[in-house]
Structure formats: structure tokens, C-alpha cells
Amino acid sequence: MPVGQVIRSHSNIYYVLVEGREVECRPRGKFRLDQTQVRAGDQVEVRLEPDGEGRIEKVLPRRNCLERPPVANVDQCLVVFTLAEPEADYLFLDRVLVHVEQAGVDVLILLNKIDLVEPEAVDAFVRTYRNLVGYPVLPISAQQGLGLDELRPHLVGRISVLAGHSGVGKSRLIRALEPGREDVRVGEVSAKSRKGRHTTRHVELIPLSSGGLVADAPGFTYLEFQDIDKWTLRDYFPEFVRRQADCRYGDCLHRKEPDCAVRDAVEAGEIPETRYKNYLLLLEEVEAMKRW
């Protein structure tokens, strides 16, 4: 039985790439009884019908699964961020990075709209998140086409999901990578709020002409830490993990404990103070949620 990959869905119809062609499929009736969810990115066994349509017989085990957006078997998350239009929201960025770390997915930060800010601001961001935190960062401008040649090799043969606030340029980036995809809507930043408008309503895996799939998904708004507690949150800050063994206490939360190597690194400028402050804010949020 052929195996395909779900690239999008509408109502109870799933569109699956099977042997290089897109097949319209319906799931087995028992999926609803078993509460089996089929998501974009799922590898599925398909029974092909004489009329050219198909039936999903089985959802194969997933390597991973993101909840926001709901997509499975992701190889990397392209976190799209801007310093202007919309203005930088570092707390939101760090919140997204925590969720991606929890899912065990590789991260590539795309600093978009670099044509709107001074080079010094771009360099400062790269120093913070690449040099001090440890994430790969690629400055780009989807509007101007800057950095796209450097981005394309990262996409070949991989499932990538775009994450970031509405208005940071996710849909425009897809249009820049695939000019023929005129069906991908591009929104503008509101002149009043300086925030973006949602232009994507559902998850869709878009095949790239150079190989690979990119998930165009609804803009992130608010992510809750349902499966994270105060003891695991610190593990999703990689710059903390590299220093935790040097703390006096193994269960150090890096807040008020004596001889904390993480706080020492913050004071020494080896960990960004903004990241540390955002960690403390997220820690308070996690603790408040767990009280109920």
C-alpha cells in the first residue's frame, strides 16, 4: 500500500502527496470513533480508488508534533522575526523558542525586513541570539530578496514550519521563494496598530520547486505552557543548560539561589539580560498556571 504525506485538509478531506502527485483522500470511518487526528505532515498509508481518489487507511507514527501550528514530522522551525513593522517583541520570540525547544525541533531564526533598520541593529540581534544564545540566525528581506539564496539550501529535503507574529512576513517569504504561488495571500501591517493582519487560515504544506515542504500556518498569537513546569522551563534555554552544572544546587531555578552560574553569566554579559528577564517572566507565568 503506497505511503504519502498529508499537505493540507479541508473539512474531512485530506490532500496527500503520493508518488509525486496530489490525491484527494478521505479517512477511514473508524478514525472518528478512535479520535484519530490526521495533520499536515503526517505520513499515511493510502488505498487508491479506481476513480483517482484515495482512502487513508493508517497514520504512521510521528517523529514529533507541534500544537501551534498543528503540524507533524517537522524537521525545522523557521522563526520569522522583525525589528520594525511590527516592532520587536522579544518576549514573544523567547516564548516561541521555548515551545520549539520543547518539541525537539531544530531552529533557524530569520531576521526579516532588514532593509527597514540600521545595520548596527541587525548586528546587535545576531550577536545576541547567535553568539550568546547559540541559535543560527539568517538576516533576510523577503521584500527585497536579500538572503534568500542563503536560505534555500536550508529548505531542501526538509519539512519546515514558519512561526512568528502576524505581519512579520511569513506569507511574503513563501511568495518570494515560490513566485508562482499567487494563492498565498500577503497582508500589510496596520498603520494604526503597527501589527500584522492574519492572512492564513489553515495549515498547508507547500512543495518547493527546489525540494522540501514549507508549512504556511496561521499567525501565532498566544502560546500557553500546558506541559511545562518550573523545573523544565530552564531546560529550554540552551544558554542556561550550558552552565547549570556549575550552579551550587542541582535544582537551581536561577532566580535567587546562591552561587548561581547562570546569574553570574548574566552579570558578566555572557547571557543576554533581556533573555534572562524574559525567563523570569515566563517562570512566573508557569508557576501561576500550576497553582490551579
Q: Binding site for Zn(2+): residue ranges?
A: 247, 252, 254, 260
Supply 71's cell numbers.
Answer: 503540524
Three-state DSSP class for residue 7: strand
Alpha-carbon gap, residue 51 to 40, rounded angstroms: 24
CA 224 to chain centre: 15
Radius of gyration for the chain, computed over Cα atoms and rounded to the nearest angstrom = 21
Q: How many helices (H) and strands (E) does the chain have?
A: 9, 13
Alpha-carbon gap, residue 71 to 271, rounded angstroms: 32
Judge residue 109's burial from the number of C-beta atoms within 10 Å of its C-beta, 0-12 exposed, 13-18 middle, 19 or more buried: buried
Q: Which residues make up each annotated binding site for GTP? A: 112-115
Q: How far apart are the first and last CA of the chain?
A: 48
Q: Which residues make up each annotated binding site? A: 112-115, 247, 252, 254, 260
